[in-house]
């Protein structure tokens, strides 16, 4: 009854606070590059940095605190940078790949744009960041798979000379490394026997790593950070429990010393530790609507409270701080705004806006994202989100065209907040349904494990049950329902029109898996050590052939009659282009309507702005044709993009 009252109150608030309609906005409004994003602050607090478009590509700019002038320090024209961070007070490091191949390479440049260096620019080699070593200006620890494409060795990198020093050779099964507060490599996370995970530990770099805990990959321990004296660790673990807990643990034995925090409904999402104060400050978890924090430190809780008072009504996130923790970069957003970055000064208790991510978007023209839940056919509770066109509420939304949008992963989750795709579709008059089907992360171990080996089965039923829930509420017009998703969501799209060909009026598959056999055979080389885990989570092609065949859309194309748009990046390392090729070929051989867009300079998802525009332009025309009966001008997909 309480939930019904909450939903009713939300509906009443929506009626009172939202306009009756919103103007149709240009597609580019939702998908153009942000003017400024990814703000960070220098360790000394004198400068902040951000990414902004230059030549239609996201590049790095640096600006002195208090100044209005910014300096662009990178000049990438081919592709957006993948990410960046401060190495020290005067130098920034960044990562980029080639055409979406996800072989990220490390580069560096001074904050005035001088002394550019390529540190790991080896074709086909991927770089990972193990520890930036904030306390040591000239050094950091990275991992690369240059020796063996399947595994990553740790190196200490000298940023002045570019020299790499091998810290230890990966024996072949280590998937991750961890350092202590002094930057010493102390922990290795390995996969042994295919499906077991193992923590290996050493007291100092002079010792060999030794196993201290071996578990099945379904349960485990992750060291969040060492205690200030580097003797114990704060660990997130689900050993002997369903939901993650934060515990104090002895890393030499993995013995739990104290349970510090756990939540009955959701897994933990993050830990806040102060390098300056050398103490644990708080922990957070993501609920149905936003993030909740629990503070161990009273002053930290009060500090965050002061930040919230400056930005009431918005979801806050601390992006980073200077070394002295005197200044913080804060993000504030909601479901109806892409958000803004601020700089918070602790001493003066002032919050100064740095930039809006999308200043051209008006909050009153955006739709609310409503947290909803429904019950699957076997009684499983499914949380989700419903975005209705502006002016529509749970009370007055009737017989709307709907786009069902299952998330990727599948070991990920949908979250409450600003979603440009959902806003774009709502602006075009569609209701958008997203759901955290079984297997979604953040809901505990049991909820994840009941999805193992259930691709296209119970996982798909959760999606279908959400559609039927929406029909039962009278919100969805049963004749005008589409399904669209990317990655695993693309697979769910294809499987949806295989299992329920009469449920969907049309479908869009974006970099989705179509054949579980070929998918498992073409994963990136650095996923190979995890293949036995993949077999358990997805299916074993040797012992479960019938199940995998039944749930591979490309092998069941004879059941599909739904109009389909397939979108793919040619360099996708996760979902090989053959996944889309074989799906399209199988359907075209039967005369089923299918349009195909391929971008030769993209990978797993489109990052370049002009490619995004092409995709969403095609999406708009496709849905307009099949859900609204609007005949597009010309082809759905430009001939140059067809394959």
CA distances from 190 to 80, 131, 186, 539 (A): 33, 18, 13, 22
Order of strands, edge to edge, in the sheet holding 594-599? 369-375, 381-387, 431-435, 400-404, 476-486, 506-510, 564-569, 594-599
d(CA 47, CA 70): 10
Where does 231-289 show beta strands of DSSP type E? 233-237, 245-250, 255-262, 268-274, 279-287
- The residue among 543, 406, 433, 423 whose CA lies nearest residue 487 is 406
In the structure encoding, which two tokens stand for residue 361, read together?
């978007």
Q: Are 159 and 153 in contact (CB under 8 A)?
A: no
Residues carrying an active site annotation: 487, 572, 604
pLDDT at 640: 37
- The 8-class DSSP code of residue 530 comes to G
| 3-class DSSP state of 393 | coil
pLDDT at 424: 98
Q: What is the CATH number of domain 365-641?
A: 3.40.50.1820
d(CA 306, CA 350): 9
In the structure encoding, which two tokens stand for residue 527, read together?
């996923």
pLDDT at 4: 34
Neighbours of 630 (CB within 10 A): 12
As averages over each run of 10 residues, the pLDDT of the chain (643 residues) reads: 36 46 94 94 96 94 94 94 95 93 94 95 92 90 94 94 94 95 96 91 95 93 96 97 97 97 96 95 96 97 97 96 96 97 97 96 97 98 98 95 97 97 98 98 97 98 98 97 97 98 97 96 85 94 96 96 96 93 95 93 94 98 90 44 41
pLDDT at 21: 82
pTM for the model stands at 0.90
φ, ψ (nearest 5 deg) of residue 555:
-90, 0
pLDDT at 578: 95
d(CA 624, CA 14): 27
d(CA 338, CA 332): 9
Sequence spans of domains, the chain: 365-641
């Amino acid at each position: 009854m309480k939930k019904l009252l909450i939903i009713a109150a939300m509906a009443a608030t929506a009626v009172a606070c939202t306009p009756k309609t919103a103007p149709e906005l240009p597609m580019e409004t939702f998908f153009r590059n942000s003017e400024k994003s990814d703000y960070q602050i220098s360790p000394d607090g004198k400068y902040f940095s951000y990414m902004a478009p230059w030549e239609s590509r996201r590049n790095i700019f640096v600006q002195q605190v208090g100044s209005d002038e910014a300096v662009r320090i990178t000049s990438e024209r081919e592709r957006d940078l993948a990410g960046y961070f401060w190495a020290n007070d005067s130098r920034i490091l960044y990562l980029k790949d080639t055409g979406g191949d996800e072989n990220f390479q490390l580069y560096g440049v001074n904050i005035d744009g001088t002394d550019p260096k390529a540190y790991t620019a080896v074709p086909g080699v991927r770089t990972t960041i193990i520890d930036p070593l904030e306390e040591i200006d000239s050094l950091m620890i990275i991992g690369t798979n240059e020796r063996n494409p399947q595994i990553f060795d740790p190196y200490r990198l000298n940023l002045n000379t570019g020299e790499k020093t091998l810290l230890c050779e990966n024996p072949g099964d280590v998937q991750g490394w961890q350092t202590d507060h002094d930057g010493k490599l102390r922990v290795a996370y390995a996969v042994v026997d295919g499906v077991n995970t193992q923590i290996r530990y050493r007291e100092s770099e002079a010792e060999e790593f030794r196993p201290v805990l071996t578990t099945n990959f379904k349960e485990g321990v992750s060291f969040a950070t060492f205690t200030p004296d580097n003797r114990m660790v704060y660990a997130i673990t689900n050993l002997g429990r369903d939901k993650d807990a934060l515990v104090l643990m002895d890393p030499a034995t993995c013995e739990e010393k104290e349970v510090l925090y756990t939540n009955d409904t959701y897994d933990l999402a993050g830990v806040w530790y102060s390098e300056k104060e050398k103490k644990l400050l708080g922990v957070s978890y993501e609920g149905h609507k936003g993030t909740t924090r629990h503070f161990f430190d009273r002053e930290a809780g009060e500090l965050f409270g002061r930040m919230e008072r400056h930005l009431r009504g918005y979801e806050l996130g601390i992006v980073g701080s200077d070394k002295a923790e005197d200044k913080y970069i804060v993000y504030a957003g909601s479901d109806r705004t892409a958000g803004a970055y601020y700089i918070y000064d602790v001493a003066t208790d002032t919050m100064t806006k740095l930039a809006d991510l999308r200043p051209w978007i008006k909050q009153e023209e955006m739709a609310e994202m409503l947290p909803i839940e429904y019950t699957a056919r076997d009684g499983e509770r499914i949380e989700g989100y419903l975005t209705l066109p502006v002016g529509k509420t749970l009370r007055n939304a009737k017989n709307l065209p709907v786009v069902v949008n299952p998330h990727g992963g599948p070991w990920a989750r949908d979250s409450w907040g600003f979603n440009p795709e959902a806003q774009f579709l709502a602006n075009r008059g569609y209701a958008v349904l997203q759901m955290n089907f079984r297997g979604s992360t953040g809901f505990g171990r049991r909820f994840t494990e009941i999805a193992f080996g259930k691709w296209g089965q119970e996982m798909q039923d959760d999606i279908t049950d959400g559609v039927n829930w929406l029909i039962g509420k009278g919100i969805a017009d049963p004749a005008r329902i589409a399904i669209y998703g990317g990655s695993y969501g693309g697979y769910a799209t294809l499987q949806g029109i295989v299992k329920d060909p009469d449920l969907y009026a049309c479908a869009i598959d974006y970099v989705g898996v179509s054949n579980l056999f070929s998918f498992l055979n073409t994963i990136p080389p650095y996923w190979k050590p995890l293949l036995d885990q993949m077999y358990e989570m997805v299916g074993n092609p040797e012992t479960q052939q019938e199940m995998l065949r039944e749930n591979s859309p490309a092998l069941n194309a004879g059941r599909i009659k739904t109009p389909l748009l397939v979108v793919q990046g040619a360099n996708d390392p996760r979902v090989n282009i053959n996944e889309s090729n074989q799906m399209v070929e199988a359907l075209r051989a039967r005369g089923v309507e299918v349009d195909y867009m391929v971008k030769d300079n993209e990978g797993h998802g489109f990052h370049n702005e002009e490619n995004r525009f092409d995709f969403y332009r095609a999406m708009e025309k496709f849905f307009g044709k099949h859900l609204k009966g609007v005949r597009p001008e010309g082809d759905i997909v430009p001939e140059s993009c067809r394959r």
